[in-house]
A and B are shown apart, each in its own frame.
Chain A
Amino acid sequence: MHRSALSILNRRRRGSDLRASRRFVRWTAAAMCLGLLAATGELASSNPPLTNVLVLYSNGRLLPANLEGDRGFRQAVGSLDAARVAPSYEFLDAPRFSGPAFESIYAAYLRDKYASQAPQVIVAVGEDALSFIVRHRDDLFPRIPIVHAGVGQSFLSSLAQLPADIVGAPADFSFEKTIETALNWHPNARRLIIVTGASRQDHALEAQARSEVTRFANRVQVEFLTGLPTSAVLEALSELGSDAVVFTPGYFADGDGRVFDPVQSVTAMAAASNAPLYGPFTTFIGVGVVGGSMPSFEAIGRQAGEIFHQILEGTDPGRLRLPRAVPQTLHVDWRQVRRWGIDEAKIPADAVVHFKRPTLLEAYRTEAVLLSLLVVLQGALIVGLLIERRRRRSAEETERAQRDELARASRLAMAGELTGSIAHEINQPLGAILSNADAAELILESGGDRNGELRNILADIRRDDLRASEVVRSLRSLLARHELEHRPFDLGDAARDVESLLRAEAEERGVTFTLAVEPIPLPMVGDRVHMQQVLINLALNGMDAVAGVPEDRRRVDVAVGKPGNGMALVVRDRGHGILPEHRPRLFEPFYSTKNGGMGLGLSIARTLVEAQGGRISVESDGSTGSVFTVTLAAGDRGTRRVEEPA
């Protein structure tokens, strides 16, 4: 509009046009002014007038108690009221400033300041403020309702009968409960030290203390440290022993005239004191006092705020629904409880506990329960697993023992099968020995010098004797009780050891038997006897297999060697072979394709082979024979072998 107006102004510069544009501008301006007026009128008419509130504090602006109280007050007043309320805050700054002269200056200041904006409600916080207002009321703000806050009942009682428009909830600032608590929590205490200051306010507190402490006189020795310089106070406190407790409301001024916030004084005292410190104000909690029984300043402020709110609503002060007195609550600093070793059971359940870090258990109860449940379960699982392990171990032991027994039984059975050839193997050398001995006898009888021949005879006898004992020895090791060994040995040597037995047996049965051992070291780690047992078993099986076939097929060939990384023992026969339907079950126990066979040999063989980490398998086309292959791991890795001189 502005632009078009301007353009109108610019374009139409002729007389009639100019007149028209001037007229337009005037009308626009008028419209805008009307609008503004209307708006202002709107605002003015729709909003109620703001209520002026004067909040007069007894002490300084930054007194912690004031800040807490103000917080409570504003909570109670709420946001709605806040829009209708225009608060002003004034501070008497007692005890720093006091006396009639100051008061009259201050009253004059208030009067002048609020002449044009007289407060419609006054909130007097603290005894000093209340008494000041009461004194100067008629002068300053006659007939303005006053809400008092943070004033003790005893003080109220000491004032002359208050008019109906001075209302408020008294706060219980008595010290009794605090002192009672202190003595209860420290049953060994014999001395009660009470520290107060030098200002007028401090004197009032001292008077209150003196009156309230009389009833404790029979329990403890009461000592007052009053109006002393701070240094003296601190020194006295530091010399206290475990038989003392200290109570102080703090002080505003000490004996030297130095001025404090009570909290500051208490902080210093708590740091120096060797005895536990108790105080009656919530603002002391956290600076080193153990605790005390006190009304919360915030609650005080809140109560005042509620009363104020009712007045704001228009209730006549005389008809106010007054809240009860702001009661005391026990507050305690947990850190101090721990410090002084106070019995936690003595702390009542409704006490407000500060600075207590919830124990891990309390903070994370659910998690803790879950965790402990987990731990218990885990423990149970571990125990269960351990039991399982023990059971399994013992089962394995039993199984191993049984297997060894079975292996031995099988060996004995095999030895039984081999008796013919065993007898032969032994009888050969025995026969030679006997005939040699007989020959020697005859030679001796014939006389003459044939010593050379006799020497040969004796040498032969010795050799044959050793031969026979070799047979017996290898037989003994085969037949003896034998537990699974795990030792290095040469597979080729082991095979050759039983060659003569097998050869003799083969001859007995009219079977051709060959043993081909690769002429290289064949080291492995395992059980020598068991491997021999497996070899004998397979060889005898082979001989059984060729029992009924024509002579050119009556042969069993054994090869021992090292194809590749592992070692192999191969037993081949040219019998009828194994039918496909038998092959899968061949190594099962009690499965036999022989008439009268128990079917244990191959299953034992497989057990023994697998116990050494090997595998046994069979190939057969079902007609021209079978090949049994035993593969084993070579055991020369990591074995140091002494190089034999070439």
Chain B
Amino acid sequence: MNIPPLIHVVDDDDSLRTALLRLLESAGYEARGYASTGEFLLQPPLDRPGCVLLDLRLPGPSGLDLQDALAHHGVGLPVIFLTGHGDVASSVRAMKAGAVDFLAKPVERQTLFEAIDRALQLDARARTNRLEAESLRERFASLTKREREVVDGIAAGQLNKQVAHELGMAERTVKLHRAHAMEKLGVTSAAELGGLAERFRRLSEE
């Protein structure tokens, strides 16, 4: 299922915010506007794909503060900064903090759309990764301890005999655990198993 992404426009300038919303909607995006970071954070964290268009200088917590807050809450929406100032130091800080892009007002629509699309892509991929990570976690969580150990050994490239020796089990027991794990994990070959385990390990590290 595909929930269309929602773009959040946070800018205290009513006129500009309205214009941006109009533009985005005319372009086919779904967008919502907020006059301040506070107003935005009052919304329950949405689990909907999208991105945030953020004015750098806002009353109250700044755009950068919001970015930190979002990250802290585990709301992984990508952030695009808009600014009327063109201040170099701020832009560097913003990019280092993980902003997707840093745009100057007035912003050309092409530039804006490209940035948004890029952000949405990032967001989509992030979501997919997150889902996948979630699913893997579930699947791996269903393994018993012994099965898990066997999987780790095979993922490391060891033969059955080596795993048996390592874990102090009979080779027949290893083969049995391997079959059960592969069935639980939904893989049909050792290579697949190895690949899956590797992916799991990587995703867990992110």
Query: What residues make up the interface of A, taking CB atoms closer than 8 Å to B?
Result: 420, 423-436, 438-439, 442-443, 446, 453, 457, 460, 463-464, 467, 507-508, 510
Given contacts A460-B18, A460-B19, contact A428 B26 (CB under 8 A): no
List chain A residues, Cβ under 8 A from B13.
428, 432
Is the pair B87, A435 in contact by a Cβ cutoff of 8 Å?
no
Contact of A435 among B20, B57, B62, B104 (CB under 8 A): B20
Is the pair A423, B26 in contact by a Cβ cutoff of 8 Å?
no
Give complex CA distance A443, B109 in Å.
13
Is the pair B23, A424 in contact by a Cβ cutoff of 8 Å?
no
Given contacts A427-B106, A446-B26, contact A439 B84 (CB under 8 A): no
Shortest Cβ distance from B14 into A: residue: A432
Shortest Cβ distance from A433 into B: residue: B106
User: B27 in the interface, Cβ–Cβ < 8 Å?
Assistant: yes
Give complex CA distance A457, B21 in Å.
12
User: B71 in the interface, Cβ–Cβ < 8 Å?
Assistant: no
Is the pair A423, B18 in contact by a Cβ cutoff of 8 Å?
no
Is the pair B22, A508 in contact by a Cβ cutoff of 8 Å?
no
A-B pairs under 8 A by CB, number = 86
Interface flags for B69-112 (1: CB within 8 Å of A; 0: not) read 00000000000001011110000000000000000111111001
Classify chain B's interface size: 20 to 34
Report the minimum CB–CB distance from B200 to chain A (whole Å): 44
Give complex CA distance A439, B57 in Å.
24
| Residue with the highest number of chain B CB atoms closer than 10 Å, among A430, A431, A463, A464 | A431
Give complex CA distance A430, B13 in Å.
12
Give complex CA distance A436, B23 in Å.
6
Q: List 9 A-B contacts (CB under 8 A).
A: A420-B85, A420-B87, A423-B84, A430-B106, A432-B15, A434-B109, A435-B107, A435-B112, A438-B26
List chain A residues, Cβ under 8 A from B23.
435-436, 438-439, 442
List chain A residues, Cβ under 8 A from B169.
none
Contact of B106 among A425, A434, A443, A453 (CB under 8 A): A434
Given contacts A423-B84, A507-B59, contact A439 B22 (CB under 8 A): yes
List chain B residues, Cβ under 8 A from A438.
23, 26, 108-109
| Residue with the highest number of chain A CB atoms closer than 10 Å, among B25, B57, B108 | B57
List chain B residues, Cβ under 8 A from A423.
84-86
List chain B residues, Cβ under 8 A from A429.
15-16
| Residue with the highest number of chain A CB atoms closer than 10 Å, among B22, B25, B57 | B22
Is the pair B106, A436 in contact by a Cβ cutoff of 8 Å?
no
Is the pair A439, B26 in contact by a Cβ cutoff of 8 Å?
yes
List chain A residues, Cβ under 8 A from B108.
434, 438
List chain B residues, Cβ under 8 A from A442.
23, 26-27, 109
Contact of B107 among A434, A443, A507, A508 (CB under 8 A): A434
Give complex CA distance A425, B84 in Å.
8
Report the minimum CB–CB distance from B92 to chain A (whole Å): 16
Give complex CA distance A442, B110 in Å.
12
